[in-house]
Structure 1
Amino acid sequence: MKRNYTFISLLLLLIVAIVACSNNSSKSVDDNEETTTKSTVNVPPFNADSAYLYVRAQADFGPRVPNTAAHKACGEFLANKLEQFGAKVYNQNVDLVAYDNTILKSRNIIGAYNPESKRRVLLCAHWDSRPYADEDRDEKKHQTPILGVNDGASGVGVLLEVARQLQQQAPAIGIDIIFFDAEDYGTPYFYKGTHKPDTWCLGSQYWGRVPHVEGYNARYGILLDMVGGKNATFYQERFSQRTAGKYVKKIWDTAHRLGFGNLFPKEQGTEVTDDHLYVYNLRQIPCVDIINYSPDSNTGFGDFWHTVDDNMDIIDKGTLNAVGQTILEVIYNEK
């Protein structure tokens, strides 16, 4: 009986060992496959020179204030570029009411890639520029329209380059690029009339209520605002942290892995009224605002913010590259 027990025990040990080896081997293969998948995702290189030219092309139109010829011409340029880069283009032409009851002839421009996919990520920026340089040192310029190169054109320039890459190499998911209008027509300090709520971000408010596709949804969104300035720093915006925290972490971890940690400090910034707020509140899509925050400046956004100095002189290709390459890395690694 002792020999029989010994034989059975040895047999059981042998079976356990075989099963354990098989499991270990399977786990090793699975782990290797996961590592291989992550390391071989073909993320295209972001072309900062190209993005810079798209920023300059917008600036060449002049201030893109609603109801102006420059605004209309730039809108055509942006819609044509998205179409040229293979997107299904939607235009939301709508009359929006400004803080002073001015009717703004506005246009949200949407480019959809792989529109049939239910797995989607939203990328957005505003394309209009502010009608007032109301933060300029020279008070005489406070009612002068600004060129809005960093505040508006930079985010659009980055996304046009992203669109160009999407045409050449499709990611595994659907992407929607939205250029929101009438973001920067908010109430100026010198307005003497009755102040109304929610006078900023009029285009995203409209889209949030009437999306370009009925029932539109996305996993999350990324908003780019003031993403081209020299010496920019992108702190983690507070509303984004509260409502899209895991995506904030994903984006900032990606930026650090790519070597852009100096531009993307993992520190809390301020809370901003921006298009991402209405994307979340009206469509319940968590949306991360990548926006320049300068804690040492008086405004928090840099000395050129809402001044006549927001021009091509402040645009840095290195900043455009850091933001653009981070965005590409994030979206091409979505499954």
Structure 2
Amino acid sequence: MKKLTLLLFVFVLAYGCKTKDSSEQAAEQAPALVKSPAFSEDSAYKFVQKQVDFGPRVPNTKQHDACAAYLAATLKGYGLDVIEQKFKAKTYDNQTLNSTNIIGSFNPKAQKRILLAAHWDSRPFSDQDSLVKNKPVLAANDGASGVGILLEVARVLSTQNPSPEIGVDIIFFDAEDWGNSEVATDEYSGFCLGSQYWAANKHIPNYTAHFGILLDMAGAKGATFFKEGYSVQMAERFVNTVWNTASRIGYSNFFINERGGAITDDHVAVNKIAKIPMIDIIHTKPNNMSKTFFDQWHTNDDTMEHIDPKTLKAVGQTLMQVIYQEAADQPL
């Protein structure tokens, strides 16, 4: 046993030195960090709060319509070109949803483009709640957090002079959360209706982007973002770009350098149908945890008290750094 312990010690010591040398070499070879503007977590938090103030944003409700108008007007107010892509979505339980994908384009004439997305609708039932399962979810984290981050990205970009020499398209997908994973209607189980529609009917014919980033459940306290499985499978290069960026600017405690499970989310249709490499930044727990997502997922407790500005900052500042690195043609 002593020999084995000693050999293990020597092996770990040698491996550790090798890892240190290789990481130092990688750091020396990595492009320098370009200066990116500050992302305001307080402003992003207010954008999340504003959506929640409408109430649940369930399709076919007045709250849904009011929030759609707010999102489109806010993007327009920051100078983005806005398209409201209206469509009717058929749910797994044969409901017809009057739906709207909201697309805002910054620097629309730029050839190199990054696509940023989040879903903005709320789940119509709280099936994971221990008590009341038929109430619509307020969806502070599961929807509003990602949208709030992207609204702040739009605001920050609108204040920059000169603007970064890159195009950024922001899509708020609708009708994402009216699905049922226990009903095998298709590979999406009734979820992601808005992204499937957009991917097959792009707002601009032949639209494409260098890559895309989807945000989902991106604002909770203590959030952990593992490298989502489909993202690694279909767009690993860009997963590494984002996670390396987050690490270099101090957010490795949020962006965990480990592979997580594969989650069927809006990025799947963008990859498979639209043929645009898109990754998913989504809050998941380690594989040995009993619950895959954050504790309040699909319950009546998905409220503002669980939103943490620090998490919004970590995700938002990482996005800003990625945008500016790509604008300078120095991806990490």
What's the TM-score bracket when you normalise by the shorter of the two chains? 0.7 to 0.9
TM-score by length of structure 1 reads 0.85
> What amino acid does structure 1 have at the position aligned with 2:50?
A
> What amino acid does structure 1 have at the position aligned with 2:185?
K
Query: Counterparts of 1:167 and 1:176 in 2: how far apart (Å)?
Result: 13
Deviation at 1:180, TM superposition (A): 0.2
Equivalent position of 1:64 in the other structure? 57
- Equivalent residues in 2 for 1:251-262, closer than 5 Å: 251-262=242-253
Query: SS in structure 2 opposite 1:265?
Result: strand
> What amino acid does structure 1 have at the position aligned with 2:56?
P
- Please, which of 230, 235, 257 is the counterpart of residue 266 of structure 1? 257
Q: Deviations over 1:134-155 (max 9, x none)?
A: 01111xx111100011000000
Query: Counterparts of 1:298 and 1:126 in 2: how far apart (Å)?
Result: 25
Deviation at 1:299, TM superposition (A): 2.7
Q: Which portions of structure 1, spanning 4 or more consecutive aligned residues, are displaced by more than 2 angstroms? A: 295-299
Segments of 5+ residues of structure 1 without an aligned counterpart are: 1-34
Segments of 5+ residues of structure 2 without an aligned counterpart are: 1-28
Once structures 1 and 2 are overlaid, which stretch shifts more, 194-203 or 298-307? 194-203
- Please, which of 287, 291, 307 is the counterpart of residue 282 of structure 2? 291
Query: Counterparts of 1:48 and 1:105 in 2: how far apart (Å)?
Result: 32
Equivalent position of 1:153 in the other structure? 144
Query: SS in structure 2 opposite 1:203?
Result: helix
1:314 aligns to 2:306 (yes or no) = yes
TM-score by length of structure 2 reads 0.86
Query: SS in structure 2 opposite 1:123?
Result: strand
Query: Counterparts of 2:282 and 2:134 in 1: how far apart (Å)?
Result: 25
Contact 2:110-2:165 within 8 A present in 1 as well: no
Query: SS in structure 1 opposite 2:258?
Result: coil
Contact 1:297-1:303 within 8 A present in 2 as well: no
Deviation at 1:117, TM superposition (A): 1.6
Give the number of equivalent residue pairs. Answer: 294
Contact 1:134-1:188 within 8 A present in 2 as well: no
Query: Counterparts of 2:198 and 2:266 in 1: how far apart (Å)?
Result: 10
Query: SS in structure 2 opposite 1:121?
Result: strand
> What amino acid does structure 1 have at the position aligned with 2:228?
E
1:236 aligns to 2:208 (yes or no) = no
* Percent of aligned pairs with the same amino acid: 50
Deviation at 1:297, TM superposition (A): 4.2
Query: SS in structure 1 opposite 2:85?
Result: strand
Deviation at 1:320, TM superposition (A): 0.3
Equivalent position of 1:17 in the other structure? none
Contact 1:132-1:188 within 8 A present in 2 as well: no
Query: SS in structure 2 opposite 1:55?
Result: helix
